[in-house]
Amino acid sequence: MPTSEIRRAMRAQDRRRFLPPEVAGEHHRDAPLPIGFGQTNSQPSTVADMLTLLEPFPGMRVLDVGSGSGWTSAILGELGGPESAVFAVELVPELVERSRAAIPQSWVSVHQARPGVLGLPEHGPFDRILVSAMGDALPRDLVDQLADGGVMVAPWGDVMHRVRRGTGDLEVTDHGGYRFVPLRDTRF
């Protein structure tokens, strides 16, 4: 998908709608903005970079891990269109409720993360998985939720990675240094 289409989708899902009132006036800044609970709404240029690497397409089945405010989930819904299925998963209950209220598309659903489970394996496999929190290593539990030919974009070890699942193999590429809030393991 061209970068221009990603930028159009980002504009269509106005960032202000996903921000707390105290920072909504800063929606235009290319910076991460606090949304409470130690979480942030990611920097727009980072979101654009991640979505470009993800290669979204109409009708995709996608998982958004660490969905926070719901902004990237709504953008994924915009890019996938009504034929798609976007599953967002978030650990903080208040952010789950807030993002459910902010996301306008019926084909985007926000789920509460469950103890002991990373992602939403019962809804997989997914064509695309986007992870918006920093892990320590390749999240194998999420790789298991990728369909053959699927793509995951996830940061770990302070580097953005793109993972493509082939038949029996993984192609992992590095795409520069990034900073994110930590991926909190629900298993502990």
Distance set, CA 24 to CA 28, 151, 168 (Å): 9, 32, 45
pLDDT of residue 188: 30
Tell me the Ramachandran region of residue 104: left when phi exceeds 0, alpha when psi lies from -120 to 50, beta otherwise.
alpha
Pick the CATH number of 3-177 from 3.40.50.150, 3.30.930.10, 3.40.50.720, 3.60.15.10: 3.40.50.150
With tokens 């990728």, the residue in question is 146
pLDDT of residue 178: 73
Pairing of strands 61-65, 146-156: unpaired
Whether the ω angle into residue 125 lies within 30 degrees of 0, i.e. cis, is yes
Q: Which of 4, 42, 84, 99 is catalytic?
A: 42
Q: Angle 148-150-152 (CA atoms, 0-180°, nearest 5)? A: 140
3-state secondary structure of 66: coil
User: Domain limits of the chain?
Assistant: 3-177
pLDDT of residue 38: 86
> Can 42 be counted among the known catalytic residues?
yes
pLDDT of residue 36: 93
First-to-final CA distance of the chain: 38
Contact 138, 156 (CB under 8 A): yes
Which phi and psi angles does 78 have, rounded to 5°? -65, -45
The answer to whether the Cα torsion of 47, 32, 71, 140 is positive or negative is positive
CA-to-CA distance for 148 and 167, rounded, in angstroms?
Answer: 6
Angle between helices 44-54 and 3-12 (to 10 degrees): 130
Tell me the longest C-alpha to C-alpha distance in the chain. 48
Report yes or no on whether pTM surpasses 0.85.
Answer: yes
Identify the segments of the chain with pLDDT beneath 70.
Answer: 181-182, 184-188
pLDDT of residue 59: 97
